[in-house]
Amino acid sequence: MESAEGFDPGNKYSVPYCWGTVGIMYNTKMVDEKVDSWSILFNDKYKNNILMQNSVRDAYCVALSSLGYSINTLDENEIKEATDLLIKQKPLVQAYVIDQVRDKMIKNAAAIGVIYSGEAIYMQRENPDLEYVVPKEGSNVWIDGWVIPKNCTNKSGAEAWINFLCRPEIALMNFDYITYSTPNEAARNLIEDEEIRNSEIAFPDESILERCKVYNYLGADGDKLYDKYWTKVGAE
């Protein structure tokens, strides 16, 4: 798995808690074709049945990857081209949502949605007609981590808490509850359900991860640039 180099060079300051990918969840009863590309999110055939993430980085991940650009680009021309693509897509989109993707798709209220892999595992348990895929053009692999602030007043307590969370049996309990992938190999080995332990959604192999990248910190100017164009998407 790609390390946290994008935001913690050398992995000096953070301890990973969970991780996953951004991909497409689709309903096999409502989608009658192979899904392996972001292009399906721009198909008129699924008008009003597409759910997009109401998140600037995730939305641009879709558009930039579709165009063959880096999800961390700071090239304004590339960002503008991705913006135009998102604006063109808007008439097809049922809604820009976050957590609601899960509920809507479980209830068959949409055919396709952009989702985080941890949600996908839960969704499949609730609706077996749902499938998850990381598109061939590439996507994001993300890592949630624990850090201790520099001004922490109880450093030993914070360290004890992180050590507690890293205990295999505790990491396993968290995985069972939140269904987001654990980076703790010992905890993974404790998963009794073989199908989950070897799940390509929870634990994708290198052939999938090699086309995924972490979101780099873009800096204040980079964030401002993306926000400017994301505002244009919302205004259209």
What pLDDT digit, counting tens, does each position of 156-168 carry?
999 999 999 999 9
* Residues 113, 54: Cα–Cα separation, whole Å: 11
Average pLDDT over residues 123-145: 96
Average pLDDT over residues 202-217: 93
| Cα dihedral: 93, 21, 177, 148 (round 10) | -120
Average pLDDT over residues 94-111: 95
Q: What pLDDT was estimated at residue 7?
A: 67
Match 């641009």 to its residue by tokens.
60
* φ/ψ (deg, to 5) at 74: -120, 10
Q: Which residues contact 150 (CB under 8 A, 6 or more apart)?
A: none
pLDDT band at 1 (very low <50, low <70, confident <90, very high): very low
pLDDT band at 2 (very low <50, low <70, confident <90, very high): very low
* Residues 74, 94: Cα–Cα separation, whole Å: 29
Q: Which residues contact 133 (CB under 8 A, 6 or more apart)?
A: 23, 24, 26, 35, 36
Tens digit of each residue's pLDDT (9 = 90 or more) over 3-27: 445 667 777 889 999 999 999 999 9
| Average confidence score pLDDT of the chain | 94
B/e letters for 57-80, b = 16+ CB within 10 Å, e = fewer, are: bbbbbbbbbbeebebbbeeeebbe
Q: What pLDDT was estimated at residue 10?
A: 78
* Residues 58, 117: Cα–Cα separation, whole Å: 13
The answer on pLDDT for 212 being more than 50 is yes
